[in-house]
Every structure is written in structure tokens, then in C-alpha cells.
Structure 1
């Protein structure tokens, strides 16, 4: 399950907590195509002390809400705060429509339907099985594809649209 460290990945790695982290990990693998890189489970075989899921060079860390860590007392689950979010995760995928279909089949609540974005790429947003918000799309801010507008042209496009 453990693989070598990917030194080409991002140095900013989101972390989410779940009440049933084992079920969440399986759901994220099924719905979004994430891969289990490492999963450390407590002796009770229920509590996830720490897990690492990857998608290409990207990673997200997962843990159980009640894993005994100090940070847990500073965090709230989406249902405890009216399903509002103070942060979110974005997955860059080659085919947003395919992930939309698997996420929907896995029971994701679609909150922003799939569409082409003004700044490039195709995107949708959904909630997972415990209410965390995820953005999924083809737009990759690390690559300046010819189909993606340059930041200046995206700003100009938005300003032009606002004038109409």
C-alpha cells in the first residue's frame, strides 16, 4: 500500500475528517477514482488515524473525526454548520463528464451542475457522503493550454461580460 514519495506533487495537501473515514475512503475511490496510497487504522479497526489518497501527482489526507488528534477539537463537520464550507478541494481530471457520472452513481449531491467555464475547462461541484464539497474539472491551473484563456484574457472577458 505504501509507495515512494512523489517529489513532483504539490506541497499544499488538503486534509478532511470523516465520521466514518473507512467508508469515505471507499466512496472517494469509487466516485472520483482516487487511489489509496496509505491507510493507517487504529487497533479498533474502525478509526482511521491517517490516510493518503492520490490522483495523479495530487494528494489528499483523510482521518476519522475522533482519531485522537489535537486538531479535531478545532474542526466541525459540514452538517454541524448548516452544510456551509470554509474550504474545499478541487480535483483536476482529464474527463469531468466521466467523473460526474461515477460521482452521481455513487450518490454525490450535485450542487453545481457540469458546465463549460469561462476561464477554461469543464467543471462541476458536489457533496460527498458526509457533506464535504468537492470541485471537479478539467481546468488545470498548472498548465496553460491553448484552450484555456490566459489570466488577462479571462479578466477582460469577465469585465466585458459585466458591461453587457
Structure 2
């Protein structure tokens, strides 16, 4: 069953963000709804049964007035996205080659995951790793 919680993000250059997210992380673009000019009103990207939704940043509607971009708050974040992948090292190299700033190199965690952290070109932080919260725990 797909997750009921879907991260929603805003990018100043949403078309470039869509291309970057597909190149760096392997997302597939499921839907793009154009806005005015070069803006994206709504887009859906999918990966491994999960989804993010995104659109162009702006203050042209009530939703847009509530959001700021990372560079407007000194790069800080109030939330991040965790992206489950099969091979964190491979995805880290893809992201690095696509221009991500790697904040934390791939490393093993105490809970059995291999993870890294990066910033995308517009400063959003992504946590990427092999931890699968949906996988049933096995007794050892």
C-alpha cells in the first residue's frame, strides 16, 4: 500500500528540479501540471512505490505564502525527506555527479541502515538510505 503521507516541496526552478531529482535519485515523473509562464503548478515524482509532489515556489496563492526556501532561512530546514533506496553508495555517487552537496558521506547506522545526507541545488536537505520502515522486523 502506498504511504498516506506524501512530502510536498516548492522549488524556484521546478522544471530544473524535476530533471535533477530524476537524474540524481532515479525518480520518474508521473505528472506535470503547467502553471503560468515557466511555472509548474503541480508535479508528481515516484520512486520505489513512494511519491513526492512539487511545484514552483511563489506567493501567488495562500499555500505559497506560507513557505520559504532554504536560502531565505540561512539553509536551515524545518523538515527533510527520507528516501529509501537499495544502494545508498550508488545513489550518493549519482547525486554527487548531478551536483549535490554531500553533507554526510554514506555510513552504516546502529539500526542496520546505510545512509548519506545531501543538499539539492536549491538547498533542500535529503536523507537517503537503505532503512525500510515498512519491512517487518525478523527475530534473530
TM-score by length of 1: 0.81
**What is the SS of the residue equivalent to 1:91?**
strand
Higher helix share: 1
- Structure 1 residue 67 displacement after superposition: 7.0
8 Å contact from structure 1 (residues 47, 66) kept in 2: no
> SS state of the match for residue 17, structure 1?
strand
CA contact 1:49–1:67 (8 Å) conserved in 2:
no
Which runs of 5 or more structure 1 residues have no equivalent in the other structure? Answer: 1-7, 151-164
After superposition, residues 41-120 of structure 1 pair within 5 angstroms as: 41-44=34-37, 46-66=38-58, 68-120=60-112
What is the CA-CA distance between 1:68 and the residue it aligns to?
2.7
Name the structure 1 match of 2:122: 130
2:93 match: secondary structure? helix
Query: Equivalent residue for 1:22?
Result: 15
Aligned equivalents of 1:66, 1:76: Cα separation in 2: 9
Any idea what the Cα deviations from partners look like across 1:43-69, whole Å, max 9, x if unmatched? 42x100000001111000011012733
Q: How far did 1:145 drift?
A: 5.1
Q: Which runs of 4+ in 1 moved over 4 A?
A: none
Tell me what 1:156 maps to: none
Unaligned runs of 5+ in 2: none
Larger Cα-atom Rg: 1
- Count of equivalent residues: 140
Question: CA RMSD of the aligned region, Å?
Answer: 1.6
Give the alignment's TM-score, normalised by structure 2: 0.95
Instruction: Show the counterpart of 1:162.
Output: none
Higher normalized strand content (fraction of residues)? 2
